[in-house]
Structure 1
């Protein structure tokens, strides 16, 4: 029993340390939480997606994924393009301050929200590095019988984090009652998205090319 608890908290701690960082997915969940728009569905989607990837990593799929560089390159390019598009959209929103409140009030549909969070989740190569490869490698240090508990702990951290981020965002709503706060947030999101897109292209495409030359 003690072994299972240790494995559970080992997975929980590792997952928490990886997920609590400024990233595209977290920023999207935060923004939707501030708007109180489709929060429950988005939180569940993110949590279940991480759970699927963590289970895949613990099950040994990471070794197969690392042997498919073409798949990694394709995901990197698609992810960078999506991040750049979303960053441009955020900066456009910030540049048109007069229509900002109308956009915030109008919001997006559930379908649009799901498509966006799916892209942020599944087109991000780093999520595979963290959940499939790194988590899978860490799970090998656990006894085979305790690895399901390791995966359960890691998945629990993801669910807890996304729930806290999505539903905890409402505590910041008094601050975001002012249009200028949305302006600053959108500029910040836009800059982060372009930065992440640049890092993806450099690390995923340019860096391996330079390493071979």
Structure 2
């Protein structure tokens, strides 16, 4: 196994991983929100990146096959995700229409434990994470062969780490946007719409 071959496998994993996580979703919307707040950014990034790493490794190891054989598990996660995302989306919209929502200090009052729990829930209650990461990414990795698949996995894990770090801390640098009247209200409204749209998509997807 030469260096070029392993580098190609890692690069393939990196690009595939980015392709799966860069799209706007519940995780990304939450990381963006926390970044703009500059509130618990490190722990949120760590939870999202670590969760992705666990799922990527599991998928490359072949756990996705078990998920495919147990569709009921995915279905339970699906409806759990619908309930959670709908609740979160409605709460975000409620914050958007309240005068206090314009005050970043008030919006930043959520504690570390609750914030980390929300980040974890947005990851593990999303059935698309299992379908995309365990099944799709795992299947692509198997095509690299027994040895190179782990280089592929390393590239995918790196993609997740780079993306969430860049999104969270990049947003933190743009925190001054929240000092403009109405900006926080618009952000909460967008987060709410994204969450509700994902919940609707999950609820309407074919069984």
Tell me the number of residue pairs that the alignment of Structure 1 and Structure 2 aligns: 204
Displacement of 1:45 in angstroms is 1.0
Q: For residues 9 and 53 of structure 1, what CA distance do their matches in structure 2 show?
A: 19
Show structure 2 runs of 5+ residues with no match. Answer: none
Secondary structure of the residue aligned to 1:73 is: helix
Q: Name which of structure 1's ranges 160-169 and 180-189 shifts more when overlaid on structure 2.
A: 180-189
Match of 1:188 among 190, 196, 201: 190
Secondary structure of the residue aligned to 1:126 is: helix
Q: Which residue does 1:89 correspond to in 2?
A: 91
Q: Which residue does 2:167 correspond to in 1?
A: 165
Q: For residues 127 and 163 of structure 1, what CA distance do their matches in structure 2 show?
A: 19
Q: For residues 150 and 75 of structure 1, what CA distance do their matches in structure 2 show?
A: 27
Q: For residues 179 and 173 of structure 1, what CA distance do their matches in structure 2 show?
A: 13
Which residues in structure 2 correspond to 1:8-157 (within 5 Å)? 8-98=10-100, 100-101=102-103, 102-104=105-107, 106-157=108-159
Displacement of 1:178 in angstroms is 1.7
Displacement of 1:26 in angstroms is 0.4
4+ runs of 1 displaced by more than 3 Å?
none
Could you report, residue by residue, the CA deviation over 1:144-188 in whole angstroms, capped at 9, with x for unpaired residues? 111111100000000000000000002322222123011111111
- Contact 2:60/2:134 (8 A) holds in 1: yes
Q: For residues 66 and 173 of structure 2, what CA distance do their matches in structure 1 show?
A: 43
Secondary structure of the residue aligned to 2:24 is: coil
Could you report, residue by residue, the CA deviation over 1:61-117 in whole angstroms, capped at 9, with x for unpaired residues? 11110111110110000001000000010010011124541522x421110011100
Q: For residues 201 and 69 of structure 1, what CA distance do their matches in structure 2 show?
A: 15
Secondary structure of the residue aligned to 2:139 is: helix
Q: For residues 131 and 109 of structure 2, what CA distance do their matches in structure 1 show?
A: 32
Show structure 1 runs of 5+ residues with no match. Answer: 209-213
Q: For residues 148 and 58 of structure 2, what CA distance do their matches in structure 1 show?
A: 16
